[in-house]
């Protein structure tokens, strides 16, 4: 008896929507762009996925999906990951990461959703859950908040049961950052974790000086202290921090492919990685990045998109001596909380702990 042929991609379509934010991420960021995708396989199975970009490039991502990626995909294997590298090579003329990988995620997620739905299970059932729950941490886009507004936000996280929070730093004067972080630490107390995120606002010497000052509040990590593509700057900053405060460096929000993650880990430029499942191109490359992080003994905490990041965090294998993955929950920014989904959210967070809600596939279909 011959094995049945693997299904192929019979149809693929996309649509661009804007999802309004309850709490704007700045004067110009009042919504996020979602490119919702839908795939139909030759065996009739369907899958839903998405690409995502908060402010810049949603129309360009949609165009890549609607034209180049659709033309490439029709008739090819619908097995998740089977054609990912070939598509990446096909799109490479337009860039090895960024718009191209964000667009690739739209197809990759839809194919994973179709495969898991066809198997009658969820993503965690398909990949194999390694844990029943994961820690979540409170996060916010809050550098533009007044100190009083920031403190009120941190109090909401504490009241909600979070034992770890992340806030933005990078004011023109580090003395103002320190005043704000002292106020945050006072609310948190000594036992809750405080992570700080500079969102690429510093250069090397300023980062060094700022982190010497901010070491007073014992940050659990410094995220994106330098320009995201400044590998050698991060190598030198890591050397300086190892000789002073020992604060770990976290990167990944704006690192777009598996090769660059390997660069940062292999050179010691980062100790924590935070791949964004959409920006790296979907679940297929995310799993590859997780395997590399495990080889280097680096912690991995997925960036944003908690409805999907939560499912991946539950499936990542534990590495001895390495903290288990935490999921970022930006206040009032989850797709479920924003009312953007057809179905109930596939996860819930209570007392700072994330658990899964029964669902099929990825459980993320946009209304």
Burial class (CB in 10 A: 0-12, 13-18, 19+), 302: buried
Instruction: Say if residues 223 and 253 touch (Cβ distance below 8 Å).
Output: yes
Q: What is the pLDDT of residue 26?
A: 81
Rounded to an integer, the average pLDDT of 66-83 is 98
Helix and strand totals (H; E) in the chain: 12, 13
Rounded to an integer, the average pLDDT of 273-293 is 98
- What angle separates helix 283-296 from helix 258-266, to the nearest 10 degrees? 10
Confidence band (pLDDT; 50, 70, 90) for 242? very high
Q: What is the pLDDT of residue 4?
A: 66
pLDDT above 60 (res 131)? yes
Tokens of 354: 């994330």
Contacts (Cβ under 8 Å, ≥6 apart) of 110: 12, 37, 38, 39, 47, 48, 49
pLDDT above 80 (res 258)? yes
How do residues 164-181 score in pLDDT, each as one tens digit? 999 999 999 999 999 999
Q: What is the pLDDT of residue 36?
A: 98
Q: Rounded to 5 degrees, what are φ and ψ at 15?
A: -150, 145
| pTM confidence score | 0.96
Q: What is the pLDDT of residue 366?
A: 97
How do residues 190-202 score in pLDDT, each as one tens digit? 999 999 999 999 9
Q: What is the pLDDT of residue 123?
A: 98
pLDDT above 90 (res 1)? no
pLDDT above 80 (res 59)? yes
Average pLDDT, the chain: 96
pLDDT above 70 (res 2)? no
Residue whose structure tokens are 């050397």: 239
How do residues 320-341 score in pLDDT, each as one tens digit? 999 999 999 999 899 999 999 9
How do residues 358-367 score in pLDDT, each as one tens digit? 999 999 999 9
Instruction: Say if residues 184 and 216 touch (Cβ distance below 8 Å).
Output: no
Rounded to an integer, the average pLDDT of 48-61 is 95
**What are 193's strand-pairing partners?**
164
């Amino acid at each position: 008896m011959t094995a049945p042929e693997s299904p192929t991609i019979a149809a693929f379509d996309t649509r661009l929507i804007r999802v309004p934010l309850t709490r704007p991420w700045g004067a110009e960021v009042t919504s996020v762009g979602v490119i919702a995708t839908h795939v139909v396989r030759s065996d009739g199975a369907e899958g839903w996925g998405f690409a995502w970009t908060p402010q810049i490039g949603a129309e360009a991502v949609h165009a890549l999906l609607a034209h180049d990626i659709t033309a490439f995909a029709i008739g090819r294997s619908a097995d998740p990951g089977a054609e990912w590298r070939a598509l990446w090579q096909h799109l490479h003329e337009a860039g090895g990461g960024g718009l191209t990988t964000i667009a690739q995620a739209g197809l990759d997620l839809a194919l994973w959703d179709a495969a898991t739905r066809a198997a009658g299970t969820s993503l965690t059932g398909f990949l194999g859950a390694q844990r029943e729950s994961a820690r979540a941490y409170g996060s916010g886009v809050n550098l533009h908040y007044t100190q009083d507004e920031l403190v009120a936000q941190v109090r909401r996280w504490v009241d909600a049961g979070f034992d770890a929070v992340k806030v933005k730093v990078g004011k023109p004067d580090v003395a103002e950052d320190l005043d704000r972080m002292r106020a945050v630490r006072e609310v948190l107390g000594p036992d809750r974790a405080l992570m700080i995120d500079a969102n690429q606002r510093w250069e090397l010497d300023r980062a060094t000086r700022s982190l010497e000052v901010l070491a007073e509040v014992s940050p659990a990590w410094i995220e994106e202290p330098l320009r995201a593509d400044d590998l050698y700057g991060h190598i030198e900053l890591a050397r300086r921090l190892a000789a002073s405060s020992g604060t770990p460096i976290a990167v990944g929000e704006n690192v777009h492919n598996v090769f660059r993650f390997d660069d940062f880990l292999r050179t010691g430029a980062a100790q924590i990685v935070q791949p964004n499942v959409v920006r790296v191109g979907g679940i297929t490359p995310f799993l590859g990045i997780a395997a590399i992080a495990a080889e280097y003994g680096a912690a991995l905490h997925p960036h944003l998109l908690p409805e999907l990041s939560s499912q991946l965090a539950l499936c990542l294998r534990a590495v001895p001596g390495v903290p288990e993955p935490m999921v970022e929950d930006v206040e009032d920014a989850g797709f479920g909380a924003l009312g953007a989904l057809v179905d109930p959210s596939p996860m819930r967070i209570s007392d700072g702990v994330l658990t899964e809600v029964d669902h099929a596939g990825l459980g993320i279909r946009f209304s």
